[in-house]
Structures are given as structure tokens and as C-alpha cells.
Chains A and B, each alone.
Chain A
Amino acid sequence: MEEKAYWLALQRIAGLGPIKIKKLVEYFGSATRVWQANVLELKGIKGLDLRTINNILEARKTIFPEKELEAVTKKGIEILTIVDEEYPVNLKEIYAPPPILYIKGKLLPEDKNALAIVGSRKASFYGLRIAEELSKNLVENKMTVVSGLARGIDTAAHQGAIKNKGRTVAVLGSGLDNIYPPENKKLAEKVIDQGVLVSEFPLKTPPEAANFPRRNRIISGLSLGVLVVEAASRSGSLITADFALEQGREVFAIPGMITNKQSYGTNNLIKQGAKLVQTVEDILGELGWNLQKNSLSDSEKTLPSLSLQEKIVLEVLGNEPKHLDDIIRETSLGFSEVFTALTELEISSLVVQLPGKLFLRF
């Protein structure tokens, strides 16, 4: 227990990154010893410059390891150090893994079979739907879905897992007591129930832009592969894909229309050699994982018996959203017939309604 407090304290020292911490701990044998080392001992280490040593000495006056740990545990947050057994194995393999992780929830050994789903915060309906659907399929195949709790695709990915009682991991770019975006606070609580919130940032860290690339390296680091659902040309999700390649993980991408800005990044990834994904089988096959259940295949989707009007309405609806007035005009049916048909089709999830009274075949 004590040891963890010193790990925490070390992490708070300015200018002491993962590499140096690792070096110091290896040199002294434990974090406690590093913290207690005297000036001479520190000066004796090769490659440790004077400024860092000064920083360490200064920090000892202002940082109190026990208090740091107490503040963290008070909030129900656990600390995992890189030497802990529970520390995710996948993450250990990457270059400069975070020396400590703040976690809330439970990290299970099975969570090593994880796939990251990332994508645009401003996703299209298509993207959100795919993210949720594939997330569902992944958890049905006993995989853990990793994402970043951001708006858009991330949210859909977490929800897909939660709704289907699967495991999900959310990696934050801020302190664990500082959930961002605020509207996802409820989602974060559900993630804690069915998985774990992870962050390498100390408590109270605000969600600064510079944190997110660092967070992205953990997302890919925790996972066997990264699935990019929708990404514009300079999206943060592409950074995650880059990290995945660097870390030797698989990169998957969902193709989109070439006219769609949100699919530019993903289509480009495919051009560069990322695996194109149509079904969950494409992902599992690449990972050498056996398919247990595949619910996206059409054969399983049994169509409920449709009335004549419902069939007519379904016929005029395509993959492009269509407004109610246009449906009425194109089908030449009356108001109440179209209303009934659309509501029935909505109920049986064959049609979905988008903002603006637009309807889309599901």
C-alpha cells in the first residue's frame, strides 16, 4: 500500500516521465527508495540531469505521498502501478507505458481481449449506428470494447456494449473526478458498473487538448486492434490509428461514401492498408478469434409480416433520409395510412426517424 503512495508522488514530479520513473525504480528497487534517495545517490545515476534532481528535491517539500494516496482512495479510485499484476498486459508492451493508472471499476484479466472503437465526435447517423451495432457484436463474442467516452462514435460504442451486458473500458483524457464531456457522466457510471474508467492523469486534471493524444495511445495500447468508424481528414481518431500501428496493433476501418467528409479519414486508412470491415467476422478473423455469434447477418433478421401500406412505404424509403411530405407524395397514400405505416415500421425497427421528420430505412 505504502509503495503505491510513492509511485503517485513520483508521478507528480515535474520533468519525470514514464521512462525516467521506470529507470529510477529499476535502479533503486522500489518507488519508496527512489523517494527517499539522497542527493548523492541521485547524482550518481547516469543520465539524470541536474534539473530533474532539483525537481525531485523540491517536490519532496510540497508533495506528501500518504496524502496523495488518501485523496485518491477517498474517491473510490484505485491505483495500478506498472509492477502490479493487474496492470493490463497489453499496455505493458507499448513504448513508455504509463507508470501508474487511475482506475474506477474493475479491470478483469479477460479485458486483454479488447478492441478499441474510435471515431468522430460529430458522427453521422450511419456512423453511430454502425459503432453501436459492431460494439454489440463484439461483446457478444466476449470481447471488451475500449473507447474514449467522447461524444459521437465513442458514446455509441460504449452504449452498444452496455446495452448488451458486455464489458467496456473508457479511457479519459482528464482526471477521473473530472468527467468530460459533462453530458456523459451518467454513461461513465454505467461504464463503471460494467467495466472500468481508466486515466493516467492525476485527479483534477482538466480535459486539455494536449492530453488527448496521450490518452489515445492508451486506448490503442489496451487493445488488440483499433476500429475507426468515422474520421474526418485530421481527426484525433487517426492519431489513435497511428499509435496502433506503432504499437503493432491491427487497424480496422469502416468504409463510407467518398462524398462524406466524415469518411475521408477512414477511407484513406483503407487505402493505406487498414482492414476494411463489413461484419464483426472481419475483425475476429483478423485477430484469429473464433466467431461465436453473428447477429448482423441478414438471415437472422426475420421480417415481421407487413401490411400492404407498410410495404409501399418501405419501398419508397431508401438509405437517404426522406421527409414525411415526400413519402406521402411518392406513395400517393393518405395521411393516416402513411402515419400508421411509419409508426408500425418504427416500432418494428425497420424504419428510423431522424430530426426534422426525416425517415430512413434501418
Chain B
Amino acid sequence: MLAKLYSCSIQGIEACLVEVEVDITLGLPSFEIVGLPDKSVRESKERVRSALKNSGFDFPNRRITVNLAPADLKKEGPGFDLPIALGVLAATEQITQPTLTDWVVVGELSLDGKIKPVCGILAMALKCKEKSMAGLILSEENTPEAGLMTGVKIISLNSLNQVREKDLPIYGGGKGKKLNRAHPPLLIDMQDVKGQEQAKRALEVAAAGNHNILFIGPPGSGKTMLAQRLITILPPLSLEESLEVTQIYSVAGMISNRGQLVSTRPFRSPHHTISCSGLIGGGRSIKPGEITLAHHGVLFLDEVTEFRRDALEALRQPLEERKINIMRNNFSYLYPANFLLVSSCNPCPCGFRGDLLQECQCDARQVKKYFGKISGPLWDRFDIHLEVPRLGKDKLMEQKINESSLEIRGRVEKARNRQKTRLEKLNLYHNAQIGPRELKQFCYLTSESKAFLNKALDKFALSARAYDKILRLALTITDLAGEEQIKPSHLAEAIQYRTLDRNQLI
């Protein structure tokens, strides 16, 4: 007899509906799964067989064929255990089939019949809603996560035994249920950073215009500390952003707080030994990379010159497009990757160039070689280069009360709103995204500003590219100031964030 039900498979960060057909015919006993199953799906036959037997069901001693459709889609993960088991039960009429039609079933089985949670439930719930399926049948532990999506009915199971019960409770499905979105208090604050006024200001500019930023400083100057606090001055995640981030973390199996949306912006700080696929996404079984995990948040590459060259170069395209397309076995997997890139490096191999407290041991050639590890095009992706000094003891002991993250965030939000109204028509969000052509339209310079900028270009021998960057930064600084015209002082500040463009004598 033939039984048919639905399940879901994760492609990229989205779920797609998979039809699970179980056919039981006469013949030599066998158990085959077709439809591009990967190893973990193929292994599910052993789990299904044991789980059924240990839950007191009959395992048919006949020829069992399981087809997963669409047949050209590669299926991964243990989530097909439960639908296959239910399919076998329905095909042998041990349970009645009508209950199952139009429900999406996902869950991993243990040998004793317990149902275990799987990754990517939020995406699956979203798909259910999109395709107007009846609801989701899944493990108890997955229920809160699925419950995040309003309007999806849920039957939650603890073990395979429960399918014998007549009236299983149906959760969810209501319309008005509010999403549980707590904003936990920030554990870190800009206030914690002593001194470093210009670095904090640069972070504010970076946050306001979404400008990628590079910290250059000796060891122990607080680059990591500063970078971690960037998320505290960015506006909180909007509801849609929260959902997207939660979906990604759900797919990656990294949800720590099931039943709650991720509400703080992600801060990802991968180690410099990370592989290209670890950073970008991919791997043997395709997983989102660090750039996707940093979606709507901050990706911090500490010691950026130590990263593998291929990994760094691969960053270039997602930095422009804010997403990454990974092609694998004729399928392309799309992962969002809209992140703010913060990097840090030392000013030279020994780390003490430009340090007031310790002498640098490097010569010009070593310094050049050190910075040469990053290609020109990648350099171009950094709008702000900032040199961070190491503080003397006296400044570290200072008791001055600094500005809190919340105050800075207020200004950042205002500046972001101004950009939004300006760029809405172009379908852009931030000043950092403005192309050279639109730049002319938005950055009108008064004759005073123009004269100032020309003088600076001559003096510092800046390139045309640097000119564009300076204008973009100056626009953000003007937004932060809440002014309409780009003034020389805004340009001056922008110029100070581009020190590496200059040909310095030393």
C-alpha cells in the first residue's frame, strides 16, 4: 500500500517541502530510500526499523520503497526519520492516514522511539505558513521554536508511542500571538573603554553609515574590546531582522534559547586559521559560514593579516552584494550576508610602529610586506582606517565617566534614519552603499568645502578612489551632526580616517 506525507529539507537557510512516499509491496524483504538521500538520510532506515519495533509496532517484513520528491533535490539530515516511520505505519495501516495529509512531519528518531529535535525548524514553520500546510508535527523540544511563527498549528510528540493516541493536542495556530522578543540588557558598554576617544568616535561613524573599519594598533591597545562594543551602538534588530537572524541560527543549529528570537545583533569573531568555506559557507554538507552568522551584525577579523589569503579574497564579493551564492552539485545555495566588517591588525610585524612607549624593530620593507598580505581590492572595502594607540598607565587609571552606548546609539539611529529617507528611492540603506554616480547627487559641496577638499587632495596626494571614500564618510559625519551641508570640518574628519591613503615618509 502507498502512503504519502510531507516533510522539509533545508536548502541554504530556507526550507523546501519534500514529499515522502512510502510504498510497501510483496517481494523479498528490503528497505530502499531513493531521491538523492545523503548518508544521514540513508541511515535512517536502521533507526526507523528499531524505533518501530521498540515502540511496539510491527515492522513489515516486505519490500519497502521510500521516495523523497522532488527527486533532484539533495536531502540531508536526520529529520526524515519521523516522516518515514509514520509513512511505514500508515502504509501498513497501523495508524489512519487522514490525520497525516497536509501536515509537515520532521524529527529524528532514537532507537527506543524517542523523538529528537532537528535544526532549521523556524525556516520550516515559515514554509508551512507560506504553502498553507495544515501544520507541523515535530519533537517536543522543537515546539517553542516553531511557535515563534504565528499561525502555524503544531502537534508535538515526545515519542513514537504517542501516535496511537486519538486526540493529540494541537498548539499554536492562533492569530494574535505576540512574538516573544526580549531585549536583554547589554552586558558590555562603550563606557567600559577608557580613553580612545577618536576610536569611539570612528566607531560611531562606522555604525551610522555602515562603513567597514580597520583598526591598526599595537598589541594591547584595546582593538578587540572596541570592536565588541560596536554592536552596542547599533540600533536594535527590527522584527524582520530578528526573524532572519533566528532562522540562520536555527539552520546552523546554534540556537541557544529555543522559543525566543535572537534579539541582539550577532558578533562573530572567527579565529584567523579559519578555512575559506568556514568563513564564506559551504563545506562537505553545506553550512552557513561566519559571514552569514554575522548577518545584520558585526564580523570581526582580529589579526586580519594572518588570515588565509583565499579566505580574505572570498570576502570581497559578499561585501558588495550582501549575500553569498554557493554552487554545489548543480544546486546553488543562497545565504544572506549583510554584515559590518571590522578588522584589526598590528601597525607592523613587531607591533610597535608609532608606539610612544616601545621602539619598533621593523624597517620599511617589512612594514610594506606586512600590509601587502591584504590585496588592494580588499583594502578598498575598508572605509575607515584607524590607528589605535596603546594607553599609558595614567590613562588606564583615569576615573572619567565616558559616554554610554545608549547615548551614542541615539545619534546613530538619527543618522541612520536620515540616510533611509535619502536613499529609499534607490533601494539602499546606508551611505557606505552609495555608488560614485549617486555620490555627486547627494554630496553637494559649497565652494568653501570644495576649496578645502582640493587643497587636501593636493597636499596628501589622494587618489580618485580615496576622494569618493572621503565624500561618503563626510556625508555620514554630516548626518551625525544633523546638518544639511557638508562642511569643511566634516571633510577634515573624514580625511583623518583615511591615513593609509597617504604616502608617508616613514
A125 close to B (CB within 8 Å): yes
A52 within 8 A of B: no
Contact of A340 with B363 in the complex, beta carbons under 8 Å: no
Q: Is there contact, CB below 8 Å, between B364 and A342? A: no
B495 at interface, CB cutoff 8 A: yes
The segment from B36-44, B193-201, B374-382 that touches chain A is B193-201
Known contacts A125-B505, A355-B347, A356-B355; is-contact A343 B456 (Cβ 8 Å): yes
Provided the pairs A355-B504, A355-B506, A356-B354 are in contact, do residues A339 and B496 lie with their beta carbons within 8 angstroms?
A: yes
Whether A151 contacts B195 by the Cβ 8 Å rule is no
The proximity string for B residues 196-232 relative to A, scoring 1 for CB distances below 8 Å and 0 otherwise, is 1110010000000000000001000000000000000
Does A142 sit at the interface, judged by CB under 8 A? no
Q: Which stretch from A91-99, A213-221, A322-330 is at the chain B interface? A: A322-330
- Give the interface size class of chain B: 35 or more
A347 CB contacts on chain B under 8 angstroms: 455-456, 459
Write out, one digit per residue, whether chain B residues 472-506 have a CB within 8 A of any chain A CB (1) or not (0): 00000100010000001111110110010010111
Q: Is B368 part of the binding interface, using a Cβ–Cβ cutoff of 8 Å?
A: yes
A201 shortest CB reach to chain B, Å? 22
- Residue contact A356 to B387, C-beta cutoff 8 Å: yes
Q: Is B389 an interface residue (CB 8 A)?
A: yes
B contact residues around A335 at 8 Å (CB): 197-198, 201, 493
- The answer to whether A336 has its CB under 8 Å from any CB of chain B is yes
Minimal Cβ-Cβ distance residue in A for B493: A339
Q: Bound complex: CA of A353 vs CA of B500, how far in Å?
A: 11
CB-defined contacts of A151 to chain B, threshold 8 Å: 363-365
Chain A residues positioned under 8 Å from B365 (CB to CB): 151, 181-183
Provide the main secondary structure of the chain A interface: helix
| CB pair A356 B389 closer than 8 Å | yes
Are A346 and B459 interface neighbours, CB within 8 A?
Answer: yes
Most chain A beta-carbon neighbours within 10 Å: one of B195, B347, B368, B493? B493
Residue A358 is within 8 A (CB to CB) of chain B in the complex: yes
Given contacts A336-B490, A339-B492, A356-B355, contact A128 B505 (CB under 8 A): yes
Judge whether A344 is part of the interface by a CB distance below 8 angstroms.
Answer: yes
Most buried by B among A122, A151, A181, A328: A122
Chain B positions within 8 Å of A249 at CB level: none
The reply to whether B505 and A323 form a contact with Cβ atoms under 8 Å apart is no
Scoring A121, A340, A356, A357 by chain B CB atoms within 10 A of each residue's CB, the highest score goes to: A356
* A321 is an interface residue with CB less than 8 A from chain B: yes
Q: Is B265 an interface residue (CB 8 A)?
A: no
B356 at the interface (CB under 8 A from A): yes
- The distance in angstroms between the C-alpha atoms of A355 and B389, with both chains bound, is 10
A122-B363 contact given A339-B492, A353-B499, A356-B347, CB 8 Å threshold? yes
Contact between B493 and A325 (Cβ–Cβ < 8 Å)?
no
Closest beta carbon of chain B to A37's beta carbon, Å: 48
**With A151-B363, A336-B490, A339-B489 as given contacts, are A328 and B198 in contact (CB-CB < 8 Å)?**
yes
Does the CB pair A343–B492 fall under 8 Å? yes
Q: Are A358 and B492 within 8 A (Cβ)?
A: no
B353 interface hit (Cβ, 8 Å): yes
Given contacts A336-B493, A342-B496, A343-B496, contact A355 B363 (CB under 8 A): no
A148-188 Cβ-contact flags toward B at 8 Å (1 or 0): 00010000100000000000000000000000011100000
Chain B residues contacting A342 (CB-CB under 8 Å) are 492, 496
Residues of A within 8 A of B506 (CB): 125, 128, 354-355
Q: Which chain B positions have C-beta within 8 A of A349?
A: 459
Contact with B along A118-154 (1 / 0, CB 8 A): 0001100100110000000000000000000001000
Q: Whose C-beta in chain A lies nearest to the C-beta of B390?
A: A356
Say yes or no: is A337 at the interface (Cβ < 8 Å to chain B).
yes
Listed in ascending order, the chain A residues whose CB lies under 8 Å from chain B are 121-122, 125, 128-129, 151, 156, 181-183, 321, 323-325, 328-329, 335-337, 339-340, 342-344, 346-347, 349, 353-358
B contact set with A: CB distance below 8 Å: 195-198, 201, 217, 347, 353-356, 363-365, 368, 386-387, 389, 455-456, 459-460, 477, 481, 488-493, 495-496, 499, 502, 504-506
25 pairs, A vs B, C-beta closer than 8 Å: A122-B363, A129-B505, A324-B198, A325-B196, A328-B197, A335-B197, A336-B481, A336-B492, A339-B496, A340-B488, A343-B491, A343-B492, A343-B495, A343-B496, A353-B502, A353-B504, A354-B504, A354-B506, A355-B353, A356-B353, A356-B389, A357-B198, A357-B354, A357-B389, A357-B499
Q: Which 5 A-B pairs have the closest CB atoms?
A: A356-B354, A355-B354, A343-B492, A336-B489, A340-B492
User: Given contacts A129-B505, A339-B492, could you give 18 more A-B pairs where the C-beta distance is less than 8 Å?
Assistant: A324-B198, A328-B197, A329-B197, A335-B201, A336-B492, A339-B489, A340-B488, A343-B495, A344-B492, A346-B459, A347-B459, A354-B506, A356-B354, A356-B356, A356-B389, A357-B354, A357-B387, A357-B389
